[in-house]
Structure 1
Amino acid sequence: MQQKLLDAGETATRSGGTTLDAIRRSVGTLPRKWLVAITLLAGLSAALAVAVAAPSPDWTFAALSGPVQSAMSVAVPFFGVLLAGDLRRAPRPVRAAPTLLGALSVAAVAGVFGALICAVMLAVSEPDAAHTPWSHVGTIAAGGVLVQMTAQLAGTGLGLLLRPPVVAFLATIVLPMGLWAVLGAVDVLRPAQGWLTPHPSVQNLLSGPMTPFMWGQWLTVLLIWGAGVNAVGVMLMKRRNLTGNSPQIPSNNSES
């Protein structure tokens, strides 16, 4: 395992690291391949759950996209955590941008996969035309990609800030949902949920047309959980590099 970690760190630094390197590293070990399978199965399982719970005449692209994309967005940030860990373990300072772009590419593929699941299910079903099953399909499909990319950025940011990876894994779930629950428990703070937590923006992106107000909420969430968290993580990583306190390769199997 230690040799795999050294190899991942060396790959991250070769030629400064490239976006293609990051994409390859996202599936470069057996645990990461299993994570791919789990992510895709999460989307398929959510689609099957909808199929069992509701008759096909009631299906719409929006009704399918909500559970499918939401289920995958739980696992997608884990890729970002692992790729961020590669940066922290690199034997010399590296640029973060290629890894972040690679992570976003992986997230975009997950979003497209989720949209394809929903489209196939709807195509083979017999939906009620009165429900306009394909309404806003393009907007919702694009929204699914944005959902996964936002989740991925939260993963890379928390992966840069927290270690070991299992702590960052849990943080990608506990921190946003915990904040959402806390804000929802206080009446005066409830309106802030849409501006400070990803969950309301996910619902908006997967429901259909977005109003300027909704876009404003999503952009605010992106600045906090995407740009903000990653900016702090990159700043701390650079500070460690400057002071010569880069983390050492762990001797246990806690990172994959």
Structure 2
Amino acid sequence: MTTHESTIAGALRRAAGTRGRRVLLVVTAGAGVLAAVALLAGLPPAERTVVAFGEPVHAFVSVPLPFVGVLLAHDLRRAPDARVLPTLVAATLIAVVAGLVGDAICVVATAVSGSTAPDPWSTVGGIAVAGVLVQVLAQLVGTGLGLLVARPAWGCPATVVLPLGAYASLTPWGTARDWLTPSGALRGVLGEEPGWARWVTAALLWSVALNAVGPTRRESCPPLRQPS
């Protein structure tokens, strides 16, 4: 990876630089569409609100999205002198776009749902902001694990297994899991009464901490060989 490719623009190009990565971006958006279609088929008209669509749609989008972060961070292992910050910024920008795409899916689904709910658009602004924040958190979990784990084949599933495993293991602690895990943060901010403090706490643990430790781990490991 050249110095030019380690810029924000270079990282954005790398995110769609191969057919597999372009497919991954399409799958990320498609997961949100799939969730919306399933809800349109399963929810009665009286329950079809933007809030009802918000959590499932953004939850589905947040599953494949961190794989993008893992792959971008993994690229840095081939260039140990490359700066990490441009890649983190690029990954965050991609997450913002993914969040806005998820918001658009929720809005369209609500608009065409034939909802009979009293106020199907209640808190639409808060849901829109929360959707973006959820995807930023998910993406930065991906970059953090991409820096920490040497191989994407392990890093990508870790973005699913570790957060969900933490959520399950903290079940006996009651509401603590809602403050200490990305899944809890997602449920906390995508409701009618968002708990923004939950997102901040989870972001500090899973985004800030992972991406602070990740560069140190990268520097302590030998660079991966360039593929022939």
TM range (shorter): over 0.9
2-structure distance, mates of 1:170, 1:82 = 12
Matched, 1:151 2:138: yes
Matched, 1:229 2:210: yes
2-structure distance, mates of 1:215, 1:122 = 24
Q: Which amino acid aligns with 1:124?
A: V
Q: Which residue of 2 aligns with 1:192?
A: 176
Q: Which residue of 1 aligns with 2:103?
A: 115
SS at match of 1:95: coil
Q: Which residue of 2 aligns with 1:202?
A: 186
2-structure distance, mates of 1:88, 1:139 = 38
1-structure distance, mates of 2:179, 2:125 = 25
Say whether the 8 Å CA contact 2:73–2:87 is kept in structure 1: yes
Q: Which amino acid aligns with 1:207?
A: G
Offset of 1:161 from its aligned partner? 0.6
Q: Which amino acid aligns with 2:196?
A: W
2-structure distance, mates of 1:89, 1:190 = 42
1-structure distance, mates of 2:227, 2:153 = 14
1-structure distance, mates of 2:189, 2:90 = 23
Q: What does residue range 33-112 of structure 1 map to in structure 2 within 5 Å?
A: 33-90=22-79, 92-112=80-100
2-structure distance, mates of 1:158, 1:208 = 31
2-structure distance, mates of 1:113, 1:54 = 22
Say whether the 8 Å CA contact 1:57–1:125 is kept in structure 2: no
Q: Using structure 1 for the length normalisation, give the TM-score.
A: 0.84
SS at match of 2:208: helix
SS at match of 1:93: coil
Aligned residues: 228
Offset of 1:129 from its aligned partner? 4.5
SS at match of 1:207: coil
1-structure distance, mates of 2:174, 2:192 = 23
Fraction of identical pairs, as percent: 43
2-structure distance, mates of 1:24, 1:142 = 26
1:178 to 165, 175, 187: 165
Question: Deviations for 1:20-48, whole angstroms, at most 9, x for unmatched residues?
Answer: 21111111100001101111111110000
Offset of 1:200 from its aligned partner? 1.4
1-structure distance, mates of 2:78, 2:45 = 49
2-structure distance, mates of 1:47, 1:95 = 38
Question: Deviations for 1:206-231, whole angstroms, at most 9, x for unmatched residues?
Answer: 11333xxx332221110111010011
Say whether the 8 Å CA contact 2:178–2:188 is kept in structure 1: no
Which 5+ residue runs of structure 1 have no aligned equivalent?
A: 1-8, 252-256
Cα-Cα RMSD: 1.5
Q: Using structure 2 for the length normalisation, give the TM-score.
A: 0.94
Q: Which residue of 2 aligns with 1:160?
A: 147
SS at match of 1:126: coil
SS at match of 2:201: helix
Between Structure 1 and Structure 2, whose CA radius of gyration is higher? 1
| CA distance 1:190–1:55, shift in 2 (3 Å) | closer
Q: Which amino acid aligns with 2:224?
A: P
